[in-house]
Amino acid sequence: SGTDNTQGNGGTFVNSDVCGQRQTFKSLIGELEKMLKYNTNDRGVAEGKIVNGKPAAIAEFPWVAYLKIPATGGSYFMCGGSLIAKNWVLTAAHCLESLGNLDKFNVRVETIRNDIALIKLGKKANVEMPHINTICLSKEDFSIGTKCIVAGWGNTMTAGHKTSDILLRADIRIEENSKCPYSNGLADTQLCAGGYIKHNALSLADSCQGDSGGPLFCLRRDGVYYQAGIVSYGAKCGDPSAVGVYTAVPKYIDWINSVIGGNN
């Protein structure tokens, strides 16, 4: 195991010696597929995924978290998150608004800026388990054109509402902020990202409702994944003319360290 919650060289958030490593565990996956009768070829080739994504392999992205958020009337809604330390999950602030007054950044609702929140787990996640791991964080920004992945259980349709019962992934590329056609503009703490693989003439792979709070993560030269963004909002899922807006995680490393440091 690595050292949790310290500030490393170059402003890197060091949460584990093995953070951001995608798992393969072929023997484990084989056994789980037998138990679940899971067949990636039969699940989601035609119906649209995250939107127009594809199923992630079992334990492929072991830092992606599913959040079930209590709402009024005994109902709940779902969001995504990412395990960044054994007892901390990173998500979007707007996912937690129903919980009342939160000790977090002041969220500007009209622009949904500073859409970031930390959840402290009541029990530490067992990262020694092969299907649980943390995602790496760093202050280093990601360049325009970087190809990344977004994963979640959110809406799988560009119109209507149909969530997924399995983790789905979509290939996403970081774009110029000008690609996000929102009149209120974007802050430097936000980034634009959208699909680059066409599903059809009118739709690309994209995150959607229910994926909020989930991680946008990218493979770096060191061979591990780092989180670039948090799913925040968008105009229309899968619309090539309006790519999604994400909270830029590298801009918040100091804040993350200030919250987590000494608070384990």
223-251, pLDDT tens digit by residue?
899 999 999 886 555 455 567 889 999 99
In terms of pTM, does the model score above 0.85? no
What is the token pair recorded at 214? Answer: 């989930």
Span between the terminal Cα atoms of the chain, in Å: 16
Phi-psi region of 15 (alpha: psi -120 to 50; beta: other; left: phi over 0): alpha
3-state secondary structure at position 3? coil
Measured between alpha carbons, how far is 82 from 213 in angstroms, rounded to an integer? 8
Total residue length of the chain: 264
Measured between alpha carbons, how far is 163 from 78 in angstroms, rounded to an integer? 10
What pLDDT, on the 0 to 100 scale, is given for residue 198?
Answer: 61
Q: What pLDDT band is residue 39 in, cutting at 50, 70 and 90?
A: very low
What pLDDT, on the 0 to 100 scale, is given for residue 243?
Answer: 79
Q: What pLDDT band is residue 13 in, cutting at 50, 70 and 90?
A: low
Measured between alpha carbons, how far is 82 from 64 in angstroms, rounded to an integer? 5
Say which range, 29-43, 49-63, 68-82, 180-194, has the weakest mean pLDDT: 29-43
Which one has a higher pLDDT value, 3 or 103?
103
Percent of the chain with pLDDT strictly greater than 70:
59
Measured between alpha carbons, how far is 174 from 167 in angstroms, rounded to an integer? 22
Which domains are seen in the chain, by residue range?
6-260 (2.40.10.10)
What residues are annotated to the active site?
94, 115, 212
CB 215 within 8 A of CB 151: yes
155-210, pLDDT tens digit by residue?
433 444 445 667 888 888 998 888 776 656 788 999 998 877 665 444 444 444 44
What is the token pair recorded at 144? Answer: 């325009």
Q: Which of 138, 232, 139 is nearest to 193 (CA)?
A: 232
DSSP state of 242: S
What is the token pair recorded at 248? Answer: 């830029």
